[in-house]
Amino acid sequence: MPDEPKQEDIDELMRVLAASTVPSGAARPEPSPPPPSAAPMTYEPLTPAPGGGRGDA
């Protein structure tokens, strides 16, 4: 039993990784930067809630 994995196993893993990474990386090239912009927007609504937004509702 060799310590190194079989070439076939490596090929399969590489194909799976490539197929999983290609679509994800190419499908979300710009969506990455937007998250930081959306973060502040989510904080705004969360701030009034703890202050007493539920009391008014």
pLDDT at 17: 76
Q: How many CA atoms lie within 13 A of 23 on its CB side?
A: 5
pLDDT at 26: 52
pLDDT at 13: 82
pLDDT at 16: 80
Residues of the chain with pLDDT under 70: 1-2, 5, 20-57
E strands, the chain, in order: none
CA distances from 8 to 1, 18, 27 (A): 15, 15, 28
| Helix or strand (DSSP H, E) at 25 | helix 7-27
pLDDT at 31: 47
Mean pLDDT of the chain, nearest integer: 61
